A and B are shown apart, each in its own frame.
Chain A
Amino acid sequence: GAVVSQHPSRVICKSGTSVKIECRSLDFQATTMFWYRQFPKQSLMLMATSNEGSKATYEQGVEKDKFLINHASLTLSTLTVTSAHPEDSSFYICSASDGRTEAFFGQGTRLTVV
Chain B
Amino acid sequence: GQNIDQPTEMTATEGAIVQINCTYQTSGFNGLFWYQQHAGEAPTFLSYNVLDGLEEKGRFSSFLSRSKGYSYLLLKELQMKDSASYLCARRDSGGYNKLIFGAGTRLAVHP
Contacts and interface: CB of A to CB of B under 8 A. Distances in A.
Interface of A: 1, 6, 32, 34, 36, 41-46, 49, 51, 57, 91, 93, 95, 97, 99, 101-108, 110
A46 B103 contact: no
List the 5 closest A-B pairs by CB distance, nearest first: A105-B42, A44-B101, A108-B42, A43-B103, A49-B96
Contacts, number: 54
Nearest to B105: A43
Contacts of A107: 41-42
Contacts of A44: 43, 87, 101
B98 interface: yes
A interface majority secondary structure:
strand
Given A43-B102, A105-B44, 19 more contacts: A6-B42, A32-B97, A36-B101, A42-B103, A42-B104, A43-B103, A46-B98, A46-B101, A49-B96, A49-B98, A91-B40, A93-B42, A95-B99, A97-B97, A102-B33, A107-B42, A108-B40, A108-B42, A110-B40
Contacts of A97: 97
20 contacts: A6-B42, A32-B97, A34-B98, A34-B99, A41-B106, A42-B104, A43-B1, A43-B87, A44-B43, A45-B101, A46-B101, A93-B42, A99-B97, A102-B33, A102-B45, A102-B48, A103-B99, A107-B41, A107-B42, A108-B40
